[in-house]
Structure 1
Amino acid sequence: MIQLIIVEDHESLIDGLKLLFANDPDIEVVATAQDGVELIKLMEHKKAHVILTDISMPRMNGVEVCTKVKEINSSIKVIAFTMFDDDQAVRDMINAGADGYILKIRPLSVVREAIMSVMQGNTYMDSAITIMPSTYTSSSHAEDILSSTEREILKLIAAGHQSSQIAEIRHCAVGTVHKHRKNMIQKLGLQGKGELMRYALQKHNHYK
């Protein structure tokens, strides 16, 4: 029996999925979670073969959920179940290790099809997704070239902190923060502080 955990904050959708699998001979819903933080706590005492997760969630979005689940147990299959149909969302989930990607506009029966497919070792992609596998890792992931310090500063920028506040949080000089900002702008090929702010917001707040 395939054990499934659903991560979703819409009760009506959870109820629909529970009903779908109520008498299924192959799949059992063993637990549900409202968000990623609740899921990680659940996984301390609940075992699952498949995690079906939304992407847009507070506290921990679907990309972060996928990354964390794969760190805990890489054999667990993760399927995104979302309204996001843009290339960036697909890239982010696949690069985080997702095994499947389904749009919520599909009939719930497609969820079963996806689960059975990924359990056979396949990657299941919604038929509406047009992005090619070769483009999953692309220049959109230029953030990978940033140092760990620069990535942390990028998160603080996305959170709305000014350079002086970042310096205080990181216990460094304001000039050091300015230097890191300049380096990130150069590495990412951006045109000034405004573009760096937009990049930070898009990267870290897109799925909130």
Structure 2
Amino acid sequence: MIRLLIAEDHQSLIDGLQLLFKDDNEIEVVGTARDGKELLEKLQIKRPHVLLTDLSMPRMNGVELCKKAIGIQENLKVVAFSMFHNEDAVKEMITAGASGYILKTSGLNEVRTAIIKAYQGERYFDSAINIDEVENTEISVKKTILSPSEKKILKLIAQGKTSSEIAEIRFTAVSTIIKHRKNIIQKLGLQGKGELLRYALQKHQHFN
């Protein structure tokens, strides 16, 4: 039986995953955590075979969590479960030691497949991800396409600042900040304000 530990800050997703594996004859959910620090505490007690983790969580992002978890339990397999479909996020998780990367837009059965493959020592990536392309692309590409001003605005967004507050800090018009937000969303291939905030939080947490 594969012992699975889940790090996810959305209770609805935790509930869905627990329901999926409730009567599974191969996978058992041995614990869940709403943030990285809670997960690391449970890791040493539960001793799972596989860790399924979100990338954007309170107190510790998925990349940092992956590194620390593998540092604690060397044979642990990690599968990322994320809404971010961009090369930076995928490559960072691979570099951190992850065995798989699944998008939250995919079916839960694909999550199950990724967990089993990881446990078996194989890698598994969402069908929407071109892993060959990701691994042949420098991680800095996405970062460098943002202008210096956009990078600074992205950090302010990560701090929870509104467009008005950012405009005041940057001594510019609110309309200019709104334009920058739209440009950042377009350049990074994000979907709307909510995804921009999550992306900003993720990036701000592990490479300023």
TM over 0.5: yes
> Following the alignment from structure 2 to structure 1, what is the Cα–Cα distance between the partners of residues 109 and 138?
32
Matched residue SS, 1:40: helix
CA distance in 2, matches of 1:28, 1:102: 19
Structure 1 residues 139, 106: closer, same or farther in 2, change over 3 A?
closer
CA distance in structure 1 between the aligned counterparts of 2:124 and 2:112, rounded to whole angstroms:
11
Q: Report the 3-state secondary structure (helix = DSSP H, G, I; strand = E; otherwise coil) of the residue aligned with 2:45.
A: coil
For the Cα contact (< 8 Å) 1:100–1:125, is it kept in 2? yes
Q: How does 1:12-91 map to 2 (within 5 A)?
A: 12-91=12-91
**Secondary structure of residue in 2 paired with 1:128:** coil
Q: What is the letter of the counterpart of residue 30 of structure 2? A: V
Cα offset, 1:68, TM superposition: 0.4
**Identity level (%):** 56
Q: How does 1:1-208 map to 2 (within 5 A)?
A: 1-132=1-132, 135=135, 138=138, 140=140, 203-205=203-205
How far residue 74 of structure 1 moved from its aligned partner, in angstroms, is 2.0
Judging changes above 3 Å, is the alpha-carbon distance between structure 1 residues 71 and 86 closer, same or farther for their aligned structure 2 residues? Answer: same
SS at match of 1:74: coil
Q: Is the 8 A contact 2:61 2:202 kept in 1?
A: no
Q: TM-score, normalised by structure 1?
A: 0.66
Residue type of the partner of 1:6? Answer: I
Say whether the 8 Å CA contact 1:66–1:98 is kept in structure 2. yes
Unaligned runs of 5+ in 2: 142-157, 160-200
Distance 1:73 1:103, change over 3 A: same
Distance 1:42 1:203 in 2: 26
Q: CA deviation at 1:110?
A: 0.8
Q: Tell me the CA shift for residue 85 of structure 1.
A: 0.4
Cα distance 1:139–1:94, how it changes in 2: closer, same or farther (>3 A)? Answer: closer
Which digits, 9 at most, give the CA deviation of each residue in 1:51-80, with x for residues without a partner?
000001121000001000111112111000
Gaps in structure 1 of 5+ consecutive residues:
142-157, 160-200
* 2:52 aligned counterpart, secondary structure: strand
In the aligned structure 2, how far is the partner of 1:134 from the partner of 1:101? 12
Distance 2:44 2:202 in 1: 32
